[in-house]
Amino acid sequence: MTVPREQLMEKVVALCKRRGFVYPSSEIYGGLSGFYDYGPYGIALKRNIRALWWRHNVELRDDVVGLESTLIMHPEVWVASGHVDNFVDPLVQCLGECKRRYRADQLSSDRCPQCGGELSEARMFNLMFATNIGPVEDSASRAYLRPETAQGMFVDFKNVLNSMRVRVPFGIAQQGRAFRNEITPGNFVFRLREFELMEIEFFVKPGTDDHWFQYWRQLRMDWYTKVLGVHSERLRFFDHPKASLSHYSKQTTDIEYEFPFAWGELEGVADRTDFDLRVHQEHSGEDLSYLDPETNERYLPWVIEPAVSVERILITLLLDAYDEEDVRGETRVLLRFHRDVAPVQVAVMPLSKKEELIAPAREVMGLLKPWYRTEYDQTGGNIGRRYRRQDEIGTPFCITVDFDTLNDRAVTIRERDSMEQERVPVAGLVDRLRERFG
C-alpha cells in the first residue's frame, strides 16, 4: 500500500527508534537539538553507505586518492576560505513570549510563527563552532571545528602532488565529521549540527571544467539509482541560478530527493573554479600551482566538487525503502533496501528453541558469515513474528532451519519482498544465495 507522504516521516522516525537505527542524543537528559546517536542497525547502514561510496569513488577509479585531515585546522584556513566572513545565516529572535530563534530567510512574515510575537532585527550569525587551543582562552587561541572537509584537501594539495603519482585531472576524496551551528536544525537527521561528509575535490585543467562538471553531475545521479536503488522518479537535478551561487562557485547543481516535507538537497555538485587554491596560495605564500609534465605549462587547477553527507543518504534510503502492505488482514511494515546497503543481508532462524535445531542453525550461520552480513535470531515468538522483525530492518533473505533439516540437510530461503520460499540443500546454500543476490 502507498503510505501518505505526510505520514511517512513520522512512521520512519518511529521505526528508527523502535528497531535500533537512530536515537535522540542524550535522551535521558531531554535530548540535544540537532544531534543524534546511531544504534546497531543505524551504524551498520552508515558503514555500508560509506563503504559503497569509497568503493565506487576511490577504489574502483585510478584517478582519485584518499585523505584524512584534522577536525581542527589553523584558524587562518577559514579566513582564507571565506568562512569567517561568508559562512553566515541571518538570525532573528522572537521578542515575545517564546524567545525562539529563526533563520530570517526562512520566515514568510515579520511575526513569530510560534507565538505571534514581534521579531528582532536580523543579524548575521556565523555557523562555525568556535573552540580554543591550549589552556588560555583568548583570541590568540581561537580555532574552529571544521564545517566541511574540503579545505583539508586544498591545503594538502601540494603534499599529495609531491608524494603521489597523480596528474591532472585527478581527485582527492575524504570522509569525516563536520560541525555546523545551525540556527534551526530539523526534519530528523536531514539538517544536523554534527554530521559526516563525503566529498571529492576533482582537479581539472582550466577550460575543461564544463566537461567535468557535467560528468560528475550525471555520475553521481547514476550512483543513487543504479548502485543504491533509489527510485529515479523521486530524484531530480536543481541548477542553482546565478544569484544564489556561493561566493566560490561558477555553477552548482543539487541532486534533490522528494522528501515528505519538500524537494530538498541530497547532494551538491559545484564548480569551485580555482578559488580555493588561489586564496590559500595568497594567504599562505606557498606556490600551489601545477606543472603539466606534457606541456610544461604551469597553472592553478580548477575544481569540481561532489559533496554529500552520510546522514542525507541514510534518511533518503530509509524514506525510499519504507513500505506497508496488507497481508491476510494485517499490516506488514518493511524496508525494501537494496541488498548492498541492508544492515543485515541474511538472517538465520531455527524454527524453535529446541536443542536439536540449535547446532544445525549455528552451522548454517558459520557457512554464511564469511560471505554476508548475517544475524542469528532465535528470540521468542513464532517464525512469522521473526520474519516481520527482519522485514522491518530490511533483511533481504531469511534462512529457516526446521525439523526436516535434520533428515534432508536442507533449509528454507524466504525472500523479503515477495515472501516466497524455496527449499535448498545446505551444501548449496551459499551458491544459491549468490545467485539470488545477483
DSSP state of 186: B
Confidence grade of residue 427 (pLDDT, cut at 50, 70, 90): very high
Q: What is the pLDDT of residue 251?
A: 98
Query: What helix, strand, coil percent values describe the chain, rounded to 5?
Result: 35, 30, 35
Question: Do residues 288 and 158 make contact, with C-beta atoms less than 8 angstroms apart?
Answer: yes
Residue 2 has pLDDT above 80, yes or no: no
237 and 152 together in one domain: yes
Provide the β-strand partners of residue 196.
Answer: 177
The vertex-240 CA angle with 194 and 265, nearest 5°, equals 35
State the number of CA atoms in the 13 A half-sphere of 254 facing the CB: 15
Q: Long-range contact list for 136-144, CB < 8 A, 24+ apart?
A: 142/75, 143/72, 143/73, 143/74, 143/75, 144/72, 144/73, 144/75, 144/78, 144/83
**Residue 105 to residues 88, 177, 184, 242, 252: CA-CA distances in angstroms?**
12, 27, 11, 18, 20
Which ranges of 173-285 does DSSP label H, i.e. alpha helix?
209-222, 275-284
Instruction: List, for residues 342-401, the tens digit of each pLDDT value.
Output: 999 999 999 999 999 999 999 999 999 999 999 999 886 799 999 999 999 999 999 999
Residue 138 has pLDDT above 80, yes or no: no
Q: What is the pLDDT of residue 5?
A: 86
Q: Is 319 helix (H, G, I), strand (E, B) or coil?
A: helix
Instruction: Find which of 109-118, 126-135, 143-152, 180-189 is predicted with most confidence, using mean pLDDT.
Output: 143-152
**Residue 42 to residues 47, 211, 223, 378, 411: CA-CA distances in angstroms?**
9, 37, 21, 22, 29
Confidence grade of residue 88 (pLDDT, cut at 50, 70, 90): confident
Cell numbers 531455527 correspond to what residue? 350
Rg, Å, the chain Cα set:
25
Confidence grade of residue 105 (pLDDT, cut at 50, 70, 90): confident
Range of the structural domain that residue 186 is part of? 5-72+147-319
Q: In the predicted model, what is the mean pLDDT of residues 261-280?
A: 98
Which of 55-64, 90-99, 132-141 is least confident? 132-141
Tell which of 319, 352, 369 closes a domain: 319
297 and 359 together in one domain: no
Cell of 278: 588561489
Q: In the predicted model, what is the mean pLDDT of residues 207-234?
A: 98
**What pTM was estimated for this model as a whole?**
0.94
Count of CB atoms situated within 10 Å of the CB of 374? 21
CATH number at residue 362: 3.40.50.800
216 and 272 together in one domain: yes
Question: Do residues 284 and 272 make contact, with C-beta atoms less than 8 angstroms apart?
Answer: no
Q: What is the pLDDT of residue 1?
A: 65
301 and 402 together in one domain: no
Note whether residue 278 is domain-resident: yes
151 and 278 together in one domain: yes
365 and 220 together in one domain: no
Q: Which of 438, 436, 351, 334 minimizes the C-alpha distance to 395?
A: 334
247 and 387 together in one domain: no
Neighbouring residues of 258: CB distance < 8 A, sequence distance ≥ 6: 234, 235, 236
Q: In the predicted model, what is the mean pLDDT of residues 144-165?
A: 97
Confidence grade of residue 402 (pLDDT, cut at 50, 70, 90): very high
Mean of the per-residue pLDDT values of the chain: 95
Instruction: List, for residues 227-256, the tens digit of each pLDDT value.
Output: 999 999 999 999 999 999 988 999 999 999
> Of 401 and 140, which is predicted with more confidence?
401
Q: How far is CA 339 from the centre of its chain?
A: 17
What is the DSSP track for 326-388?
Answer: EETTEEEEEE---TTT-S-SEEEEESSS-HHHHHHHHHHHHHHTTTS-EEE---SS-HHHHHH
Q: How far apart are CA 229 and CA 155, in angstroms?
A: 35
Question: Do residues 204 and 168 make contact, with C-beta atoms less than 8 angstroms apart?
Answer: yes
CATH number at residue 295: 3.30.930.10
Q: Which of 120, 20, 16, 48 minimizes the C-alpha distance to 373?
A: 48
Confidence grade of residue 428 (pLDDT, cut at 50, 70, 90): very high
161 and 232 together in one domain: yes
